[in-house]
Structure 1
Amino acid sequence: MQARVFGRTGRRVGEIGFGAWAIGAAWGEVDDTESVAALHAALDAGLDFIDTADVYGDGHSERLIARVLKERGGQRPFVATKAGRRLPQQTVEGYSADNLEGWIDRSLRNLETDCLDLVQLHCPPTDAYYHPELFERMERLVERGKLRNYGVSVERVEEALKAIEYPGVASVQIIYNMFRLRPAELFFREAKRREVAVIARVPLASGLLSGKFGRDTKFAADDHRQFNRHGEAFDVGETFSGVPYEVGLAAVEKLRPLVPEGATLAQLALRWILMDEAVTVVIPGARNVAQALGNIAAAALPALPQATMDAVARVYEADIRPHVHQRW
């Protein structure tokens, strides 16, 4: 797996990381034994970037990661977490100095470390990006040694562009996949110019781009692909990238012929993301060993031909763009 420089931090990380939302909660039944095995397998294969959050399973994801790293010993991978979604309601006032420090202290305990590699503000309200004092509070926490770097996880391109105006923002996590092309239009170029790391999340559009779903697929009641289908619990863009389920299924069928021999649609989707050099790391989720190793194997695929890139763009323009492009 190739490594890419994580923005101004200078640290190099493998281009495929481990998204740890699914091992926490909100993706149906979770088996801790399989989750632990998946993490071990990924780290054995050379993966060195893990992304989690304090609300994934109310800290369960963070604690599982700490357990695995304790079992392994040795050099720790880069572990990024997030803070802010513990608020009962998203308000700028909720991102007070006391709240931020409290959330970060909790993550320090959960991850069993004395300093966090990266803390990302977890999709705060858009207005928060226009409050410099919030970012100054993160600076103070860096100075006090509670975290090495801070960044943001955003819903909208507008938020990403505003965030990188703050010189201390080391990274931006944003949804980018075959069903979400807008970040590459302007934001990626600006991020690269400012040496801001880009973490591409929801790379498989909540599994739609795995090609494994159909009209009759049933999701568990505690799976966000069931309970947040229309944005009932949080931003609908986090579920299937905001694409109506049936529309996504139809688009997937147009993408299937593009899969290289010996690869899967999911691997094609991951390799497609890595074609943009502005992306630092992509973070697909994995709940078992096969998924974890399959994700990593995508990095070994050869560069995609221009014909494939053009074909993906045509599917997006015809089927997906009207549903998502101007919303996020």
Structure 2
Amino acid sequence: MPPSAGVSRQGERVATIPTRKLGTDGPEVSAIGLGAMGMSDLYGPADEQESVATLHAAIDAGVNLIDTGDFYGSGHNEMLIGRALRERRREDVVISVKFGSRRTPDGAFQPVPYDVSPAAVKDRLAYSLRRLGTDYIDIYRPARLNREIPIEETVGALLEMRQAGYIRHIGLSEVGPETLRRAAAVAPISDLQIEYSLVSRGPENAIIPALRELGIGLTAYGVLSRGLLSGHWTPERELAAGDFRANSPRFQGENLEANLRLVGALSRIAERIGATTSQVAIAWVAARGDDIVPLVGARRRDRLTESLAAVALTLDEDVVAEIEAAVPAGAAAGSRYAAPLMATLDSEN
């Protein structure tokens, strides 16, 4: 059975959510945040009514950090969140928005480089405010680095928008230590959003030490490695049209078989301690430091309930050692993105 839980206004079984502060300059947020991308994009069709119900259930459970991108569903995700927030108090939610990636009318992503110029900062922000139905965004961040645009220019424009009251905090995404330091010299940075999980431990080498040196928090996406670590994945699973995992190296052939063997070992530990596989994977990330906030990508209330129960799960040193022996650093087969995308990541180069 999963850890004990409380009850939300909708009657869903959920855990009581403590809070953590995102860095020296950032906001107080729930110890688990909700990533809304899959409600609009990249994981196949989603039920819009269920998505709104899941957003409501998360907020009612005490999840105040909602993460999105203006390019998720080409604006659909922001409109979905805006719709959900009409029935909840704006001040109860910390909205994090990424910008910079570009789409075509058929939904395809345009080739890099990302548009994170000062002009784009202001233009994209204007549209996000309207779609979300709000007059400010809590954390606004470039989705990726564009090496042709100095990070100082991007952060300088974000600082102008913060001073004007349109955003409250400046975040970054998928950048390395040098870029972090250059950005922090221009304006306070609340947090870095980056993929971090049992099978994506690269940030531990240089990025997390730099974050702690600079007083910047970490919001970890991909804590279940796109569902791979959920305990619900099988080799026979058929992916819906538009699900980007069909081209993800970790979900291909022998890579998938090897990775599911790791998940099997993790599942045996989870069963022994009375939790689910996903709860153990989430709890492991949360246990890496009070300055780290895992984002879960639940699209349905039942998956949300399972994920949020991870806050009640305490992993002692012996269990952590057992988990890390079962899924050692660097053991995952395949990179987290295909090679062309990996080459664009400042955090990986």
Scaled by the length of structure 1, the TM-score of the pair is 0.87
Decide which moves more: 315-324 or 244-253: 315-324
Segments ≥4 residues shifted beyond 6 Å: none
Residue equivalent to 2:248:
229
SS in structure 2 at match of 1:303: coil
SS where residue 200 of structure 2 aligns? coil
Q: Is 2:123 aligned against 1:108?
A: no
After alignment, is 102-111 or 116-125 more displaced? Answer: 116-125
Instruction: Percent identity, please.
Output: 29
Q: Unmatched 5+ residue regions in structure 1? A: 231-238
| Kept after mapping to 2: 8 A contact 1:199/1:280 | yes
Per-residue deviation, residues 137-166 of structure 1 (Å, max 9, x unmatched)? 222222222211111111xxxx33123212
Report the Cα offset of residue 128 of structure 1.
Answer: 5.4
Query: Which whole-Å CA distance do the structure 1 matches of 2:293 and 2:166 have between them?
Result: 24
TM-score (norm 2): 0.82
Alignment-derived partner of residue 246 in structure 1: 257
CA distance, structure 2, for counterparts of residue 210 and residue 111 of structure 1: 30
Q: 1:46 to 1:278 in 2, by over 3 A?
A: closer
- Who is 1:233 aligned against? none
The answer to whether 1:257 aligns with 2:278 is no
The reply on whether 1:119 has 2:140 as its aligned counterpart is yes
Structure 2 unaligned regions, length at least 5 = 1-16, 104-109, 337-341, 343-347
How far apart, in 2, do the equivalents of 1:44 and 1:89 lie? 39
- Range that drifts further, 294-303 or 197-206: 294-303
SS of the residue corresponding to residue 9 of structure 1 reads: coil
Match of 1:236 in 2: none
Deviates more, 1:97-106 or 1:47-56: 97-106
Which stretch has the larger CA shift, 162-171 or 191-200?
162-171
RMSD: 2.5
Contact 2:217 2:291 in 1 (8 A): yes
The CA distance in 2 between the partners of 1:102 and 1:123, in whole Å, is: 17
Superposed CA deviations along residues 240-266 of structure 1, whole A, max 9, x for unmatched, are: 69x932321121112222115331100
Instruction: For 2:213 and 2:117, locate their aligned partners in 1 and report how far apart those are by CA, in whole Å.
Output: 31
Structure 2 residue aligned with 1:235: none
Which residue in 2 is equivalent to 1:146? 166
Confirm or deny that 1:2 pairs with 2:18.
yes
Structure-2 separation of matches of 1:223 and 1:323: 17
**Partner of 1:171 in structure 2?**
191
Amino acid at match of 1:205: S
Q: Cα distance, 1:72 vs. partner? A: 1.8
Given the alignment, which residue of 88, 95, 100 partners 1:72?
Answer: 88
Matches within 5 A, 1:1-328: 1-73=17-89, 75-86=91-102, 88-91=110-113, 94-125=115-146, 127=147, 130-154=150-174, 159-165=175-181, 166-167=183-184, 168=187, 169-226=189-246, 228-230=247-249, 244-259=255-270, 260-277=272-289, 279-313=291-325, 315-317=327-329, 319-320=331-332, 328=348
* Residue identity matched to 1:107: S
1:164-199 CA deviation, whole Å, 9 max, x = no partner? 212222210010001011212332122122110100
CA distance in structure 1 between the partners assigned to 2:242 and 2:267 by the alignment: 29
Cross-structure match for 2:4? none
Cα deviation digits, residues 253-308 of structure 1 (max 9, x gap): 12222115331100000000011115431111111111112111101112343343
